[in-house]
Amino acid sequence: MITGTIKSQVDAIWNAFWSGGISNPMEVIEQMTYLLFIKRLDELHTVREKKAHRLKRPIENPVFAPDQQHLRWSVFRQLGDPATLYSTIADEVFPFIKTMGGDRGDSTYAAHMKDARFTIPNAALLAKVVDMLDAIPMDDRDTKGDLYEYMLGKIASAGQNGQFRTPRHIIKLMVEMMAPTPADTICDPACGTAGFLVAAAEYLDTHHREAIYKDAEAVKRFNHDTFHGFDFDSTMLRVGSMNMLLHGVENPAIENRDSLSEGHAGVAGQFSLILANPPFAGSLDYESTAKDLQQIVKTKKTELLFLALFLRLLKPGGRAAVIVPDGVLFGSSKAHKALRRMLVEEQKLDGIVSMPSGVFRPYAGVSTAILLFTKTDSGGTDDVWFYDMQADGFSLDDKRNALATDKHASNNLPDVLKRWQNRDKESARGRTEQSFLVPKAEIAGNDYDLSINRYKEVVHEAVDYDPPTKILGELKALETEILQGMEELEGMLQ
């Protein structure tokens, strides 16, 4: 979450694009992302350069060849002439980034970048934006994604197209709860900027680095076979591919695909882990929706269709951590109940984390929850673990200011992870606590209602009131005092 100075810098860049002739918000984001990507490439090359110099070895995996040094951000930004800067970026740097990720141009990144266009209209605007971007620190691991998240808040249509980037700290929590392994095949069927896939890649790099780099076969699996993302927005695919490439995944399977459409109905049982926050855009036509999803749950509602899709895409034994609107947990329609019954009776529903409604502000104020389940096709639900998250480390208003992350009252996320990892010991917890277990039989008896308020017990503090006779006496004394005051005032007026 970016704040303060960086927000002001982004606002200034946005205004520069606007006054420079680019008024389409998504075009601003795309052009800005290309430039941020170019800047980050130079920083990655510099890190590898310093490491090589320190170890007195050749540079390992250099981004730029010796004859491409003039394509580096740190070099071309020093060009004094805006016209030369413009021709260097438009004619050399931009074609260079379009061919990255595969020498033959056959990577998914290269495929998505094929239609990318550099549309900054003139040298003066480009020189101005380069200077402004140069002032933004890019050493944070996902600043580009944060900038994108902040800029989405400026787009009036964002609420209609559903492109809300999930806050990184929530993504990180979900990934840590799922604890992916090198054996996992991970999918986000509505990947957007690939935030979940990036976080999963970072988790694997941190916790299983030896295993994913142990030999050429393991490296190939990590780069080509582990990560799968679907989206039908070409801009999102390009941004997501760049994000993955910057985070060390060379050729993830990021595809242009409408996950709910009939055209992709045959894809099933391929993934062992799904991490997702799919768009909940309302209703779809029956005709355009995959028939096999309609067989799982007869509905037009996208939030239910996506849950049916997750069940279809998972292998038996596969796990999922997905964000759903609260209505999924207690909706009274036949489709809502059928899907919840399926999760509880036919699959293994592991847990539900209820999140405060401010988590997605300023983009949306809807209440959401993290749904955690395992596909078994043979049941297995015993007790369902519930957690009532009340704070996520940021203020729950539109400003989303950072709070003290080391205090439980302002940040429940460490506690969520700790209790989830030890949820088999939660049976002793009472329903008045933040987390507790609910037996499957009780959930079934409540028509498979999964809202935490159905099971949480609220303790009301006893309030002691004075006896009625004492209250009446105090009222009489007050009345006497008022009458005396009125008599004194009347005397003063005569």
Q: Which CATH number covers residue 118? A: 1.20.1260
pLDDT exceeds 70 at position 429: yes
pLDDT exceeds 60 at position 82: yes
pLDDT exceeds 80 at position 85: yes
pLDDT exceeds 70 at position 220: yes
Average pLDDT over residues 58-66: 88
Distance CA(48)–CA(45), nearest Å, equals: 5
| Side chain identity at residue 263, one-letter code | G
Distance from chain centroid for Cα 61: 30
Q: Show Cβ contacts of residue 102 under 8 Å, excluding neighbours closer than 6 positions.
A: 109, 110, 250, 251
- Determine the pLDDT at residue 278: 87
Residues 142, 224: one domain?
Answer: no
Residues 142, 168: one domain?
Answer: no
Residue 394 lies in a domain: yes
From edge to edge, which strands make up the β-sheet containing 271-276?
Answer: 253-256, 227-231, 186-188, 271-276, 314-325, 368-374, 348-354, 383-388, 435-439
pLDDT tier, 452 (very low <50, low <70, confident <90, very high otherwise): very high
pLDDT exceeds 60 at position 160: no
Residues 108, 211: one domain?
Answer: no
Residues 365, 288: one domain?
Answer: yes
- Determine the pLDDT at residue 282: 58
Average pLDDT over residues 352-379: 90
Q: Which residue has the higher pLDDT, 2 or 421?
A: 421
Residue 79 lies in a domain: yes
pLDDT tier, 355 (very low <50, low <70, confident <90, very high otherwise): very high
Residue 490 lies in a domain: no
Q: Which residue has the higher pLDDT, 439 or 263?
A: 439
The enclosing domain of 340 has a CATH number of 3.40.50.150
- Determine the pLDDT at residue 157: 39
Distance CA(418)–CA(135), nearest Å, equals: 39
pLDDT exceeds 90 at position 436: yes
- Determine the pLDDT at residue 87: 95
pLDDT exceeds 60 at position 156: no
Residues 139, 167: one domain?
Answer: no
Average pLDDT over residues 204-226: 93
Give the number of other CB atoms < 10 A from CB of residue 387.
26
pLDDT tier, 379 (very low <50, low <70, confident <90, very high otherwise): very high
pLDDT exceeds 70 at position 359: yes
Domain count, the chain: 2
- Determine the pLDDT at residue 168: 84
Residue 477 lies in a domain: no
- Determine the pLDDT at residue 414: 95
Q: Which residue has the higher pLDDT, 286 or 182?
A: 182
Nearest residue to 318 (alpha-carbon basis) of 392, 375, 367: 375
pLDDT exceeds 60 at position 79: yes
Residues 146, 205: one domain?
Answer: no
pLDDT exceeds 90 at position 60: no
Residue 50 lies in a domain: yes
Distance CA(207)–CA(64), nearest Å, equals: 29
Distance CA(95)–CA(91), nearest Å, equals: 7
- Determine the pLDDT at residue 5: 75
Residues 269, 333: one domain?
Answer: yes
Distance CA(469)–CA(475), nearest Å, equals: 10
Q: Please report which residue ranges of 264-368 form alpha helices under DSSP H.
A: 291-296, 302-313, 327-330, 334-341
Q: Give the domain range for residue 187.
A: 163-454
Residue 158 lies in a domain: no
pLDDT tier, 104 (very low <50, low <70, confident <90, very high otherwise): very low
Percent of the chain with pLDDT over 90: 46
Average pLDDT, the chain: 86
